[in-house]
Amino acid sequence: MMKMMKMMVLVLSCVLCVSADALHEEITITGCSASDGENMYGLDGDEIYYADFKNKKAVYPQPDFVGLRFVEGIYQQAEAYQQICRTNLDVLHEAYKDLPPERDAPSSPVIYPRDNVELEVKNVLICHVTGFFPAPVKFSWTKNGENVTEGT
């Protein structure tokens, strides 16, 4: 009985001394659009796996000597994530389709001269616009309320 207790103490002390000193950074990216998708897993800054949806397979870009163990069914899991992502995309598209303009983020147009402005001389103006969604946006120049098409 005493021998068994010593063995238990030895086993418990070995278990209690085990610790992990390494920290790892892991990242998983899943994204989709109506026509494309992305599923990727990375560890410590290295790309470990990504789903190739065009060729319908899992791709492990690490060289063979790294010795990674591949997970069965990981590509099928990525396809399932894409289905969930597209369902969420449809729900969000439906929820935001009637977003009133006043709640839509305003664009931020900035017009500035390329050089110092001089009176009675042709000056070049540059228009920089950001923050619009969704894109395509059309721009037009006006002068005194009239559209200007020449020299733009």
Each residue's pLDDT tens digit, 58-69: 999 988 888 877
pLDDT 10s digits, 70-96: 788 999 999 999 999 999 999 998 888
**Average pLDDT, rounded, for the chain:** 79
Spatial neighbors of 83 by CB under 8 A, at least 6 apart, are none
* Domain annotation for the chain: domains and CATH numbers: 23-96 (3.10.320.10), 102-143 (no CATH)
pLDDT tens, residue by residue, 95-112: 888 777 665 555 677 888
CA distance 115 to 124: 7
The whole-number pLDDT of residue 83 equals 94
Of all residues in the chain, the percent with pLDDT exceeding 70 is: 76
Quick check: 16 pLDDT over 50? no
* More reliable by pLDDT, 146 or 13: 146
d(CA 51, CA 5): 52
DSSP-assigned letter for residue 114: S
pLDDT of amino acid 80: 95
Structure confidence at residue 102 (pLDDT): 62
Provide the whole-model pTM.
Answer: 0.51
Can you give the pLDDT at residue 17? 45
User: In 44-104, at which residue ranges do the beta strands (DSSP E only) sit?
Assistant: 46-52, 57-59
Which residue did the predictor score with more confidence, 119 or 131? Answer: 119
Rounded mean pLDDT of 126-148?
77
State the average pLDDT over residues 122-135. 77
Residue 93 or residue 19, greater confidence: 93
